[in-house]
Amino acid sequence: MKSRIKNLLVVLILVLGAKAGFAGGDTTYLRPTYSLVAKQVSFTPTEFVFDIFLKHTNLAQTRFEYAGGQYFLRTNMQFKNGGSCTFRYATGPTGDTISQLPPHMIPRNPSMGVIGSDTVLMRLAINTFPGAGNGFIIPVTEPYGIQIIRLKFTNTNSTFLGAPGNNIRWQNFTPNPYTKMFAYTGLNGTVNTEVSDTLNHFIDFSTGIGNEPNITLTPTEFSLSQNYPNPFNPTTKITYAIPVEGKVTMKVFDLTGREIMSLVNEPKHVGFHTVDFNGSNFSSGVYFYKINVESTKEKNYQATKRMVLIK
């Protein structure tokens, strides 16, 4: 009996504590809001290139730790004009995907499918959730936020009939398939929650054939991402962003503060960079990686994060 009473008291305390968190202004539980924009980059009679952007819109009330997203756009058979189409990543000069997300959080496997007699779906599968504390913090960067991905829709043996602005829309209908967002919003960021809001899914496509200037991937602030995977064995990736050119050093330290490896020690251009750490020669344990950026524009930056090697 005493054991039951004790258990009930524990539950009551947890419930009251959670309510107190709401009343006391603890924003950990609150649902972040966002805007999702598909924006045209270029359009020719046979190829359409566009970007997907995600922006945090209630920064004062919440923290948007992005866990992942599933993206669906729909068009129609008339737009395909009887052609055979492909839907894939648009890659940069070096063949890499064009995204401001860490590589492991980019939505996966662009593919196409048909539902009903006339609806064509362009689909990006959801990424593997990285775990609370390892998600990507979505910024409020103007005007659109973070670039999720650049995509290419190509008509390989015909021309598109019409314009994307008149023929492509977000697929928001339930049940699946539909566009959905996930974030870590529970106590201490431990709960993965769907935060989809179809009223804030927008299309910014031209209604005519032509080209618009490409959007340059330029970070507006310094950042150092949590390594992924974490824990890891034996390799992991670390992504960082620098908004100005500068000398970048990144070093790894053990728990005693002893430097064990230098990962970066050279000038870097503006942009998003990824470096690999291989722990094959080190024992299991907690390590720290520290970045230091020295810029000629008087913008310097330092940050340190923790990672765990398990063998």
Tell me the per-residue pLDDT of 157-205, one tens digit each, with 9 for 90 and over: 889 988 898 899 999 876 678 999 999 987 666 788 889 888 889 998 8
Q: What is the tally of structural domains in the chain?
A: 2
Do 283 and 163 share a structural domain? Answer: no
Whether residue 18 is contained in a domain is answered as no
Instruction: For residues 191 and 231, state if they share a domain.
Output: no
**Arithmetic mean of pLDDT, 233-249:** 87
35 with 150, same domain?
yes
Please state which of the ranges 74-83, 162-171, 204-213, 270-279 shows the lowest mean pLDDT: 204-213
Whether 42 contacts 28, CB under 8 Å: no
Q: How far apart (Å, rounded) are the C-alpha atoms in residues 247 and 277?
A: 19
Residue 109 has pLDDT above 80, yes or no: yes
Please tell me the predicted confidence (pLDDT) of residue 226: 79
User: Is 304 part of any domain?
Assistant: yes
The CATH number covering residue 298 comes to 2.60.40.2550
Whole-number pLDDT of residue 256: 94
Average pLDDT over residues 261-280: 90
Any idea which of 14-23, 167-176, 223-232 has the lowest mean pLDDT? Answer: 14-23
Q: How many CA atoms lie within 13 A of 169 on its CB side?
A: 10
How would residue 208 be classed by pLDDT, with cut points 50, 70 and 90? Answer: low
Max alpha carbon distance in the chain (Å)? 76
Residues 261, 203 share a domain: no
Residue finishing a domain among 176, 211, 246:
211
**What are 199's two structure tokens?**
């009223």
In-domain check, residue 55: yes
State the average pLDDT over residues 63-76: 93
Residue 194 lies in domain: 26-211
With a pLDDT cut of 70, the percent of the chain lying above it is: 84
- Residue 267: CA atoms inside 13 Å, Cβ hemisphere, count? 6
The mean pLDDT value of the chain amounts to 83
| Shared domain check, 206 and 258 | no
**Same domain for 45 and 183?**
yes
Q: Is the pLDDT of residue 11 over 80?
A: no
Q: Is 281 inside a domain boundary?
A: yes
- Answer whether residue 68 is part of any domain: yes
Res 29 pLDDT > 60: no
Instruction: Please check whether residues 164 and 255 belong to one and the same domain.
Output: no
Q: Please report which residue ranges of the chain form alpha helices under DSSP H.
A: 2-23, 77-80, 164-167
Tokens matching residue 219 = 């970070």
Q: Are residues 236 and 187 in the same domain?
A: no
Indicate if the pLDDT at residue 18 is higher than 50.
Answer: no
Chosen domain end from 183, 211, 239? 211
Task: Mark whether 196 and 248 lie in a shared domain.
Answer: no
Whether residue 12 is contained in a domain is answered as: no
Length of the chain: 311
Is there a single domain that holds both residue 205 and residue 247?
Answer: no
**CATH, residue 149:** 2.60.40
**Structural domain contains residue 194:** yes
Mean pLDDT score, 276-291: 95
Q: Are residues 92 and 48 in the same domain?
A: yes
Rounded distance between C-alpha atoms, residue 188 and residue 184, angstroms: 9
What is the rounded CA–CA span in Å between residue 111 and residue 122?
6
Residue 296 lies in a domain: yes
Q: CA 82 to CA 157: how far, in whole Å?
A: 9
59 and 116 share one domain:
yes
The amino acid that residue 283 corresponds to is S
Residues 241, 102 contacting (CB under 8 angstroms): no
pLDDT tens digits for 125-162? 999 999 988 899 998 777 888 999 999 999 988 899 88
Given 163, 191, 211, which residue is the final one in a domain? 211
